[in-house]
Amino acid sequence: MAESSGAPQATGLREIARLAGVSHQTVSRVLNGHPNIRPATREKVMAVVNEQNYRPSRVARALATRRHERIGVVVDGASQSGPSSTLRAIEAAAYARDYTISTLTASREGTPMRDAVSHLVDHGIDGLIAIAPRTETIRELLGDPGELPVVVINADAPQDRSTVSVDQAAGSRLAMDHLISLGHRVIMHIAGPRDWAEARAREGAWRERLVVAGLPVRPALVGDWTADRGYVLAAQVAQTPDCTAVFAANDQMALGLVHGLHDAGLRVPEDISVVGFDDLAESAHYLPPLTTVRQDFEALGTASVIALLEQIGQPGGTTQARRIPAELVLRASTAPPRD
């Protein structure tokens, strides 16, 4: 008789099936997300899986499903807060669904977008999420549709691709309606780089709300997302005597703007109100705390992963455009203009 080693034996697929009172094929279908499983059966199997702390072999599942259970993520503009926050949210959402991710950064100066995508595909991915804020990036990425499931985080992508994005225009309207409701009549804008779709959407909404309200439209001041640029542009704002409010296209430029206005002898919000966009973790600690538009990066990352997994599970399905709502966060950097 063979001697027992005394080591605990790992719970296998057939043991899960025995404990749940179903076939091992049913357990496999449940674990692989097969749609034709009764809810009661799925719950019974998952209860045993959780009770036994069962973690199926990734290699075995890859062989059975011909999937790698890996998502590729290619990021343009990874040094900026929006793309980096989105990437962290994607990582968390993929992990929660038992997927790993492989990430590469694409840029003008470094790895071209097409090369980054090819590298990820060569190393085995089931689908791709592209954080592609620049128009040039989208053109480069989507020139050849191919068969790989792709989700683009940018509302400006062609209709033959699924997209997920925060509603930039709606968020900007919230910011502008807030300033207009306070009584501001000359509201300047510090825009992001013109080759970013998000920057164009925010600038367009700023202009639209001024036109609708019958207010003057001054030329937008073009920034580069950095606090340094916001500081430099503060001088032009300070030299516009009838300006009482500024909508900055991101929180970092708003930070530099507040600093520059202070050095020019102007107070925020007593002399000029300032609204940002993003709601960075630090924005509540600016002096004064910044009124801003919050982007829900967690929801953005989760929605993009779900959209991609739906494509992987149902090849050839219809593309979808998903919009995440934005939220205005009121703090101390805005107030009615002085009489």
Check whether residue 206 and residue 283 sit in a common domain.
yes
Check whether residue 173 and residue 267 sit in a common domain.
yes
Q: What is the CATH number of the domain that holds 102?
A: 3.40.50.2300
User: What would the mean pLDDT of 11-21 be, rounded to a whole number?
Assistant: 82
Check whether residue 205 and residue 289 sit in a common domain.
yes
Check whether residue 205 and residue 264 sit in a common domain.
yes
CA distances to 6, 217, 224, 239, 266 from 261, rounded to whole Å, are 73, 21, 18, 10, 5
**229 belongs to a structural domain:** yes
Domain span at 46: 13-65
Check whether residue 206 and residue 280 sit in a common domain.
yes
Both tokens of residue 39? Answer: 């809810």
> What are the tens digits of pLDDT across the range 251-280?
999 999 999 999 999 999 999 999 999 999
Check whether residue 33 and residue 180 sit in a common domain.
no
Going by pLDDT thresholds of 50, 70 and 90, the confidence category of residue 63 is very low
3 state SS of 23? coil
Name 112's Cβ contacts closer than 8 Å, sequence gap at least 6: 106, 140
For residues 132 and 154, is the Cβ–Cβ distance under 8 A? yes
Whether residue 2 has pLDDT greater than 50: no
Check whether residue 181 and residue 227 sit in a common domain.
yes
Check whether residue 192 and residue 228 sit in a common domain.
yes
Check whether residue 194 and residue 261 sit in a common domain.
yes
Whether residue 337 has pLDDT greater than 90: yes
Give the amino acid at 332: A
Check whether residue 100 and residue 142 sit in a common domain.
yes
Whether residue 65 has pLDDT greater than 90: no
Give the end of a domain, one of 65, 86, 105: 65
Q: What is the CATH number of the domain that holds 52?
A: 1.10.260.40
> What are the tens digits of pLDDT across the range 102-125?
998 887 777 778 888 888 888 889
User: What would the mean pLDDT of 10-20 be, rounded to a whole number?
Assistant: 78
Whether residue 295 has pLDDT greater than 90: yes
Confidence (pLDDT) at 66: 52
**79 belongs to a structural domain:** yes
Q: Assess whether the previous peptide bond of 336 is cis (omega < 30° from 0).
A: no
**265 belongs to a structural domain:** yes
Going by pLDDT thresholds of 50, 70 and 90, the confidence category of residue 32 is low
What value does the mean pLDDT of the chain take?
87
Instruction: Provide the 8-state DSSP code for 196.
Output: B
**97 belongs to a structural domain:** yes
Which residue has tokens 């989208």? 138
**Residue 307 CB: number of other CB atoms within 10 A?**
23
**Residue 128 CB: number of other CB atoms within 10 A?**
23
Confidence (pLDDT) at 230: 98
Q: Which of 99-108, 121-130, 212-221, 306-315 has the highest average model confidence (pLDDT)? A: 212-221
pLDDT-wise least confident of 68-72, 181-185, 206-210 = 68-72
Going by pLDDT thresholds of 50, 70 and 90, the confidence category of residue 231 is very high
Going by pLDDT thresholds of 50, 70 and 90, the confidence category of residue 143 is low
Confidence (pLDDT) at 59: 44
Confidence (pLDDT) at 123: 82
According to DSSP, the residues that pair with 294 across neighbouring strands are 278, 327
